[in-house]
Structure 1
């Protein structure tokens, strides 16, 4: 009897080693982005005007994380779709026409657009071309916003400190202005960080607030929605859409 018990346990262990799992992490990424955005909102809502380094650090951590995870979501979502075309049991990919499935699967096996040599938004355009669907116009929304979002993410990931002049007196003229590379494009997209003052530069101080985090989440979801719609597919994150509140 004891031998049978040991034998069964060994068999169970061996069987457990054969179990494989496959997770779509894009869904977790966008939920994380929304969560961090809500956390930033709570800080801003309860801000009493008394500045502290600890509070500012926590706030900017939430906002930065939201931006990063929004872009993580974009890349994971397109990678998952390409990978799904290789899997015959994928509920999402199998709704594509057979020719598109074959083309995307074969290209993915050839590392196209699988490697870091391909930009995130380029991967989406390639998928649309393979599916013979209309690609995004880089000069219009929603492409413009996510392209700007990716650039903002890159500037945070590959951060390089630079001198930025901010107005400190009335004699501060236009020729004195030295701004962040994407400041003109980002201004007006969202409200500035309310934890900052007049003397703070736009980037990173005024830029990195709840408004920016909310814009990052919404822009990434709007773009992904448009992509899956063009592909004729249901968005794989539809079932968690009610968890993507940003306030």
Structure 2
């Protein structure tokens, strides 16, 4: 919160003290909370005993679970994207939060962020924003071949695929596993990284989206997102603005 006082001289010779209150919201924190709350709802479903449910009731529970997992993944990527945008905005406004960062480096970032053409840093892709910010702060950039960076890149690809979904025909096989051929492109990239959805892991349904979109995927997504943003803040020598939330997750 920001508080500003000033005095105003009135026509009758008296002085009036004025006060202005302002506040700034960091919505990345809400995205983080949302992701955790949604995956917790998925956990309650997947770890419950629904063995006696059949037909429509089981299908509705599966659909409810899918809604929570999808929302958690969307919120997780929103957390990553909002985190870097909020920091760059604070640098542009020379906010007290970034006062420990070198002045000349901040100016270089501000100049690139404030550009009014397509070259503005604001218009860059999310991961390029993180890398360019590290470069301009003279900090080590992420190794783009590292598991963490590749996982976050996959998360963004997963979110984009869900957001701009295009239906396609995928093979189904025995009651126990999907065929390896004619599967969604994300199958080879994501398979084996997390536990499959309890609703489909023993079925012949395709890996994506059926087996993929479960509690395990949502947990994997949030863990990698937090590790990535944590590591970014470590590299620039700043504390995160969500430590108070982390303790309650």
Answer whether contact 1:94 1:101 (CA < 8 A) is retained. Answer: no
Q: Which structure shows the bigger proportion of residues in strand conformation? A: 2
Alpha-carbon distance in 2 for matches of 1:173, 1:22: 51
Partner of 1:193: 197
1:106-142 residue CA offsets vs partner (Å, 9 max, x unmatched): 2111152212xx2111110110111011111111121
Over 3 Å off, 4+ runs: 18-21
Answer whether contact 1:193 1:205 (CA < 8 A) is retained. Answer: yes
Partner of 2:12: none
Alpha-carbon distance in 2 for matches of 1:26, 1:162: 33
The structural deviation recorded for 1:240 is 0.9
Structure 1 position 69 matched with structure 2 position 75: yes
Alpha-carbon distance in 1 for matches of 2:179, 2:110: 56
Partner of 1:148: 154
TM-score, normalised by the number of residues in structure 2:
0.84
Partner of 2:209: 204
Answer whether contact 2:197 2:210 (CA < 8 A) is retained. Answer: yes
What is the aligned-residue RMSD (CA, Å)?
2.0
Structure 1 position 179 matched with structure 2 position 179: no
Are the structure 2 counterparts of residues 232 and 167 from structure 1 closer, same or farther at C-alpha, using a change threshold of 3 Å? same
1:123 alignment partner, SS class: helix
Answer whether contact 1:191 1:211 (CA < 8 A) is retained. Answer: yes
Consecutive unaligned residues in structure 2, runs of 5 or more: 1-17
The structural deviation recorded for 1:210 is 0.4
Answer whether contact 2:27 2:82 (CA < 8 A) is retained. Answer: yes
2:133 alignment partner, SS class: helix
TM-score, normalised by the number of residues in structure 1:
0.85
Question: Larger deviation: 200-209 or 42-51?
Answer: 42-51
Alpha-carbon distance in 1 for matches of 2:64, 2:213: 12
Answer whether contact 2:171 2:179 (CA < 8 A) is retained. Answer: no
Q: Which structure shows the bigger proportion of residues in helix conformation? A: 1
Indicate the structure whose relative CO is greater, using CA pairs within 8 Å and at least 6 residues apart. 1
Structure 1 position 214 matched with structure 2 position 226: no
